[in-house]
Structure 1
Amino acid sequence: MLTLNLIPASPVTFSKSTHQFHPLKRIHNPKTFAYSPVFVNKSSPESPKVCNFSKIHGYPFGKIRALCTKTTHFTDIPENPSRKPGSHVTRAAAASESNPEGEADAAQVAAKSKAKTLQLALVFGFWYFQNIVFNIYNKKALNVFPFPWLLASFQLFAGSIWMLVLWGLKLQPCPKITKPFIVALLGPALFHTIGHISACVSFSKVAVSFTHVIKSSEPVFSVVFSSFLGDTYPLKVWLSILPIVMGCSLAAITEVSFNFQGLWGALISNVGFVLRNIYSKKSLQNFREVNGLNLYGCISIISLLYLFPVAVIVEGSQWVQGYHQAIATVGKSSTFYLWVLLSGIFYHLYNQSSYQALDEISPLTFSVGNTMKRVVVIVSTVLVFRNPVRPLNALGSGIAILGTFLYSQATAKKKSAGGEKKS
């Protein structure tokens, strides 16, 4: 409890014209308040007289002495001892009850978070499902019609038509097409074409599971080519690619359906897609306003223009005979058409879903999702086509996929460290 000591006031005389109160000018006074108002003598500006309230006995309330000897600051004022423990909790509860809008906002944020999580789960689900459907029907079509150049061309054609329909119906905003933009797309589209046709060649020669195991070695080519271009990687990244190489080698040695064309097709596909990604960063950095789906649609159209003329030269003379053999093998032409159509539609759909997923999640989550996608595809195709899998082959596939996962973790840490250094 504070003691109030009132000292009788002694008469003090003030001049009417020589003093002016300046409330903003403060002088530190450790004996009383931390900062005290002063009076300034206007008649002598060179050495103004300071009049402190604590020394003026005529102050209306006299001199106040506190029991505390420390300098009085707002932060040093002790809590009111009359306040009951936990009274602030009661006030907070009363405030929350009197503020229903805050609870409504919190509920709305929680609902939006749940909706976004559900949307992301659906995107991942569609991505995996569409990839599985593509790999199954693409392999079925290639088993009866072993002409990957024509089938790859049709898949790009189906994607191009799909994007034109979206743009025509204004379901997707049409990108602004300019000559510099087309020139910038030529390189990435060329490497995309190489990656796509090489993968189709590999699918036509070996089991789908083996192709995906070899394609999981894509990070190895990414690190090597990027290092040649001047990028540096920490030791963890280099160590993460060792199990990828070991796993792919073990899987290749023990693969029942091993074929050198299938192996080289998968490896060349990795090279093509890695160079596409590297070249895209350099040539398309001035066109970041184009979203991923539109960018992929434009690349598909240009890739079709690259691929189809070469496909006619490579295997065009065998298409008619191969078509009749495929119909005779399947028994119904409608079944063969359905397989080819589904392979083309779902090829574009799973790529579209991957771009949508990349827009919603971080690159690390996308890399992990892509790794798990390969696991799901490998298991699904093995079950559908009943491909024989040896224990060492399964072990090598697992090691390679584990290395891919470790690589995604290591590169994500490298990117986050680089971002912190830049900031």
Structure 2
Amino acid sequence: MTIGVLQLGVGVLYALYMWAAPDSRSVPSVTKDDLVKMLPVGFCAMGAHCFSVFALSAGAVSFGQIVKAAEPAFAAVVSTAVYGKSISTAKWLALIPVIGGVVLASVKELDFAWSALIAACTANLFAAFKANENKKLMETPGLKDRIGSVGNQFALTTILSFLFGLPLLLAREGHKWSEFVSLFRSNSVISTNLFTSGLYFYLYNELATLTIKKTNAVTQSVANTAKRVIVIVGVALVLGESLAPIKLLGCAIGIGGVLLYSLIDKIVYG
């Protein structure tokens, strides 16, 4: 919890710097009512990030990323059950390889942990709610103009996420704060990794948001699939994690299912 919230805090510092720096980014002119409407998005973003961080620390990073790849399944269920949106039959069928791939990749997982699985699934659930709440939010008349840019939109979301996470951090792990500060000061690896991971997380998400605005659905689907492959294989190689054949097969089926889910309506219905 501490690492996840402080990573959001690094993003807040970057966002404030971008607003304060001359000729950099204009400050959004949002109202109090606008900020209130943004609270659900901020809360869901905080939950998605913090549970993702916990999932990656509770088990193999590659395993956590494979479970995270099943996010479309959670999005489909939440969109249908909570927000009353319709999902085509083709998309529902495309979820079969997504879920099957995750299950197959988990069968021989040497570093399997229920806590990692539950945390990754919870992160997917928060991400699904965030996507729907964000879409509903951006339908507010005039809000886009008051925010000013995609960068400002993500900055505001990050600030709200940090504010939501801070009291939870203090309530859950506040008794260990002095211990963490001591470790932070004495170990340069922790301090360096905290700042760099927080900054990279912010910049990646801001760039991803900008990319969504400037590319078509097919490009986004292919890029997202490629990202999953690079992350899963990359972390396994760097961290020396197991990539057994059955795990690779499950990973390939699951990620292929994600790509199919993204494109199936265009393929079937034109």
Return the TM-score normalized by structure 1: 0.59
Shift of residue 411 of structure 1? 4.5
Matched, 1:200 2:53: yes
**CA distance in 1 between partners of 2:180 and 2:17 (Å):** 31
**CA distance in 1 between partners of 2:159 and 2:249 (Å):** 40
**CA distance in 1 between partners of 2:174 and 2:72 (Å):** 34
Q: Does the 8 Å CA contact 1:256/1:389 hold for their aligned counterparts?
A: no
Partner of residue 313, structure 1: 171
**Any idea what SS the aligned residue of 2:241 has?**
coil
Q: Does the 8 Å CA contact 1:156/1:303 hold for their aligned counterparts?
A: yes
More helix as a share of residues: 2
**CA distance in 1 between partners of 2:122 and 2:250 (Å):** 20
**CA distance in 1 between partners of 2:86 and 2:122 (Å):** 24
Partner of residue 20, structure 2: 168
Partner of residue 198, structure 2: 344
Matched, 1:296 2:148: no
**CA distance in 2 between partners of 1:335 and 1:206 (Å):** 21
Partner of residue 390, structure 1: 244
User: Where in structure 2 are the equivalents of 1:18-417 lying within 5 Å?
Assistant: 149-169=1-21, 170-228=23-81, 229-286=83-140, 287-289=143-145, 290=147, 291-322=149-180, 333-412=187-266
Q: Does the 8 Å CA contact 1:153/1:308 hold for their aligned counterparts?
A: yes
Q: Does the 8 Å CA contact 1:184/1:284 hold for their aligned counterparts?
A: no
Return the TM-score normalized by structure 2: 0.91
Runs of 4+ in structure 1 displaced over 6 angstroms? Answer: none
**Any idea what SS the aligned residue of 2:144 has?**
coil
Q: Does the 8 Å CA contact 1:237/1:411 hold for their aligned counterparts?
A: yes
**CA distance in 2 between partners of 1:413 and 1:395 (Å):** 24
**Any idea what SS the aligned residue of 1:288 has?**
helix
Q: Can you list the C-alpha shifts for 1:163-218, whole angstroms capped at 9, x where unaligned?
A: 11111124122211201210110111111111111101101101111111001111
Shift of residue 359 of structure 1? 2.1
Q: Does the 8 Å CA contact 1:185/1:284 hold for their aligned counterparts?
A: no
Aligned-residue RMSD, C-alpha: 1.9
Q: 1:213 to 1:162 in 2, by over 3 A?
A: same
Bigger Rg over Cα = 1
**CA distance in 1 between partners of 2:156 and 2:267 (Å):** 32
**Any idea what SS the aligned residue of 2:29 has?**
coil
Q: 1:411 to 1:312 in 2, by over 3 A?
A: farther
**Any idea what SS the aligned residue of 2:179 has?**
helix
Shift of residue 223 of structure 1? 1.2
Give the unaligned 5+ runs of structure 1.
1-148, 418-423
Shift of residue 325 of structure 1? 6.0
More strand as a share of residues: 1
Shift of residue 324 of structure 1? 5.0
**Any idea what SS the aligned residue of 1:189 has?**
helix
Give the unaligned 5+ runs of structure 2.
none
What is the aligned residue count?
Answer: 264
Q: Does the 8 Å CA contact 2:184/2:191 hold for their aligned counterparts?
A: no
Q: 1:172 to 1:240 in 2, by over 3 A?
A: same
Q: Does the 8 Å CA contact 1:217/1:400 hold for their aligned counterparts?
A: yes
Letter in 1 for 2:193: W
